């Protein structure tokens, strides 16, 4: 017989509270941060490209053309799109001009060996499709395309030529006033499967490409040149070669922020690397930073990625695809990582919980950013539809690796959820919204008591170029597809050191400091401590407090009951 019937009566309520707190990840100081939310079937198609346009619009081309506003609403849907959807070839390309014009290059009738009809179409700033014509004539392996808007009336297009072998060139085109000129080819930087991308900002055109030589001679390239008739010469003169990692390299991505930096990712064997160039053409990081590894072994080996940056260039987000080993990479986990210091250090990769079909690397996601709001577009794994993810990335003012939504003093590196509470200093050192909560009666001030500081999955272990990757964290429970966690990761999502945080509701794991103690309230000091920025989850975090207080009270009662019995 239980000597304390009240404890028995409290169990269901307590369990519900504990399970709710665990499921929500909302123990104080552990507020869920940096979560993607996903919206399925925002567009039709499997091959896509997406860019930022003026007036807070994202421009997306897949089977159709779409505009999406910053709330994630599709506000324009028109039939112009890529004619080669579902064919496992390369995606279309889109550019949006500062004047509101839109430029598409898409593939239509043809075959890899015979070449494709490449079509350029223009949507005027007023919304009419006023140009539609075929560029050149079909050529073998001309299915990798790019588009960039440099200045009003100056649009550049890119296609690839394979010739009789798989080594090929990038052909650069210039469109002006309704006619297209071939500006020339860049030789030897492209192989049919390495992909390429072209973007422009402030009159400068950037191009990234890969040469996936299997004999460890492969490389990724970034280049730039001023838009106009001299573009080909500029691109040829500024070609920068990158060769971190091993094996083949290729499948690069490129994102231009609003302050003149070009952010660049590319794949090596099962890895993805990052670097950045400023508007003066200076490489920012002496060595390419490895931001993903262990991405899986598939036909072409190199890691697949996408990248985007906040307007100020400080917050950078990248995704990496962890393949299932099949050629088509038909069940591929979308991982992501972020930097809040301009790409110098990166968070441990996390799993978004979503799966895509990478289609031999030809269905890579795209990232677009406005401010610190990031948008991800990818092919839904088994459907011919496009899924959108959105993320508001918080800044990290003091650079301690904890972003402002979880760092209760984002101007002090000594305060964050990874710190231990220091007894008696009147500071909430560990951001659990409790000040000096570890002080036992008679304890000297200044004594840290927390044995296991909170270790949020997405804010610690910033990864440098040479450090080992940390375990992949658990995605937001609300965004997980069932069965999408083949790695069998720790279901607590808190890594190995969260036992003191109630990872198991059994009383063996309950905090020991709740034992004994004069039976008063916990040292919860109102009005002192967390000055966290408003977060949509902050209120819920406060709601979790009564549950924790109730839990500790329950333990205290159980302890007394045990000592009586
Ligand atoms: Ca911080
Ligand atoms: Ca801090
Ligand atoms: Ca505290």
CA of 94 to the centre of ligand 3 (A): 50
Confidence band (pLDDT; 50, 70, 90) for 6? very low
Confidence band (pLDDT; 50, 70, 90) for 251? very high
CA of 441 to the centre of ligand 3 (A): 17
CA of 415 to the centre of ligand 2 (A): 4
Ligand nearest to the CA of 430: 3
The 10 Å Cβ neighbour count of residue 19 is 12
CA of 443 to the centre of ligand 2 (A): 26
Report helix, strand or coil for 393: coil
Burial track 449-481 (b if 16+ CB lie within 10 A, e otherwise): ebeebbbbbbbbbbbebeeebbebbbbbeeeee
CA of 276 to the centre of ligand 2 (A): 27
| 467 vs 389, residue with greater confidence | 389
pLDDT(10) > 70: no
CA of 431 to the centre of ligand 3 (A): 5
Ligand nearest to the CA of 529: 3
| 142 vs 459, residue with greater confidence | 142
pTM of the model: 0.73
Strand runs labelled E in 212-288? 219-226, 240-242, 250-256, 262-268, 271-277
Calculate what percentage of the chain has a pLDDT beyond 90. Answer: 52
| 484 vs 279, residue with greater confidence | 279
CA of 531 to the centre of ligand 1 (A): 12
CA of 461 to the centre of ligand 1 (A): 13
Report helix, strand or coil for 232: helix
> Using an 8 Å Cβ cutoff, are 388 and 417 in contact?
no
CA of 105 to the centre of ligand 2 (A): 47
pLDDT(437) > 50: yes
Of the listed ranges 303-307, 409-413, 521-525, 553-557, the one predicted with least confidence: 521-525
CA 407 – CA 405 distance, rounded (Å): 6
CA of 29 to the centre of ligand 1 (A): 13
pLDDT digits (tens, 9 = 90+) for 140-177: 888 889 999 999 889 999 998 877 666 678 999 999 87
Ligand nearest to the CA of 421: 3
pLDDT(554) > 60: no
Helix (H) or strand (E) holding 322: strand 316-322
pLDDT digits (tens, 9 = 90+) for 489-520: 333 333 333 333 333 333 333 333 333 333 33
Helix (H) or strand (E) holding 157: strand 154-161
pLDDT at 164: 66
Ligand nearest to the CA of 420: 3
For the chain, which residues make up each domain, given as ranges?
1-34+406-451+500-565, 37-392
CA of 395 to the centre of ligand 1 (A): 8
pLDDT digits (tens, 9 = 90+) for 132-143: 999 988 988 888
Report helix, strand or coil for 500: helix
Q: Is 495 left (phi over 0), alpha (psi -120 to 50) or beta?
A: left
CA of 490 to the centre of ligand 3 (A): 25
Please give the CATH topology (third level) of the domain spanning 37-392: Methylamine Dehydrogenase; Chain H (2.130.10)
Mean pLDDT of all residues in 206-225: 90
Give CA torsion, residues 550, 554, 560, 561, to 10 deg: 150
The most distant pair of C-alpha atoms in the chain lies apart, rounded to whole Å, by: 92
CA of 368 to the centre of ligand 2 (A): 28
CA of 436 to the centre of ligand 3 (A): 6
User: For ligand 2, a single-atom ion, which residues have Cβ within 5 Å?
Assistant: 398, 400, 407, 409, 412, 415-416
Which class for 548: exposed (0-12), middle (13-18), buried (19 or more C-beta within 10 A)? buried
């Amino acid at each position: 017989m239980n000597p304390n019937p009240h404890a028995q009566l409290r169990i269901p309520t307590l369990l519900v509270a504990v399970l709710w707190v665990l499921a929500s990840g909302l123990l104080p100081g552990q507020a869920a941060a940096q979560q993607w939310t996903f919206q399925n079937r925002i567009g039709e198609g499997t091959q896509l490209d997406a860019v930022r346009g003026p007036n807070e619009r994202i421009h997306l081309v897949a089977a159709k053309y779409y505009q999406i506003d910053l709330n994630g609403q599709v506000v324009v849907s028109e039939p112009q799109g890529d004619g080669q959807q579902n064919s496992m070839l390369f995606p279309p390309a889109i550019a949006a001009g500062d004047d509101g014009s839109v430029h598409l290059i898409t593939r239509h009738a043809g075959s890899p060996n015979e070449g494709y009809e490449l079509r350029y179409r223009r949507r005027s700033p007023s919304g009419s499709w006023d140009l539609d014509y075929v560029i050149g004539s079909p050529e073998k392996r001309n299915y990798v395309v790019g588009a960039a808007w440099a200045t009003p009336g100056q649009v550049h297009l890119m296609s690839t030529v394979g010739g009789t072998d798989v080594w090929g060139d990038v052909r650069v085109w210039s469109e002006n006033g309704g006619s297209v000129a071939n500006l020339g080819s860049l030789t030897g930087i492209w192989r049919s499967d390495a992909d390429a991308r072209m973007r422009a900002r402030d009159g400068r055109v950037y191009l990234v490409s890969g040469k996936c030589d299997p004999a460890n001679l492969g490389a990724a390239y970034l280049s730039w040149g001023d838009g106009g008739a001299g573009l080909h010469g500029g691109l040829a003169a500024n070609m920068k070669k990158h060769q971190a990692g091993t094996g083949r390299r290729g499948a690069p991505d490129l994102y231009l922020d609003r302050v003149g930096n070009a952010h660049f990712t590319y794949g090596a064997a099962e890895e993805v690397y990052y670097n950045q160039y400023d508007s003066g053409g200076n490489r920012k990081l002496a060595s390419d930073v490895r931001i993903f590894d262990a991405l899986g072994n598939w036909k072409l080996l190199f890691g697949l990625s996408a990248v985007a940056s906040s307007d100020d260039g400080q917050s950078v987000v990248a995704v990496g695809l962890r393949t299932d080993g099949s050629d088509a990479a038909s069940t591929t986990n979308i991982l992501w990582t972020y930097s809040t210091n301009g790409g110098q250090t990166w968070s441990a990769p996390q799993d978004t919980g979503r799966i895509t079909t990478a289609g031999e690397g030809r269905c890579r996601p795209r990232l677009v950013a406005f401010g610190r709001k990031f948008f991800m577009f990818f092919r839904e794994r088994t459907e011919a539809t496009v899924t959108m993810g959105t993320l508001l990335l918080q800044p990290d003012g003091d650079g301690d690796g904890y972003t402002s939504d979880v760092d209760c003093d984002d101007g002090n590196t000594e305060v964050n959820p990874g710190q231990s509470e220091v007894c008696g200093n009147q500071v909430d050192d560990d951001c659990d919204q409790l000040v000096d909560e570890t002080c036992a009666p008679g304890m000297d001030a200044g004594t840290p008591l927390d044995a296991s500081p909170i270790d949020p999955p997405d804010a610690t272990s910033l990864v440098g170029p040479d450090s080992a990757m940390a375990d992949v964290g658990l995605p937001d429970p609300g965004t997980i597809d069932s069965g999408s966690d083949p790695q069998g990761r720790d279901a607590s999502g808190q890594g190995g050191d969260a036992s003191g945080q109630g990872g198991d509701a059994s009383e063996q794991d309950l905090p020991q400091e709740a034992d004994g103690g004069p039976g008063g309230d916990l040292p919860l000091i109102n009005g002192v401590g967390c000055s966290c920025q408003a977060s949509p989850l902050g209120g819920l975090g406060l709601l979790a407090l009564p549950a924790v207080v109730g839990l500790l009270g329950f333990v205290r009662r159980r302890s007394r009951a045990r000592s009586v019995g």
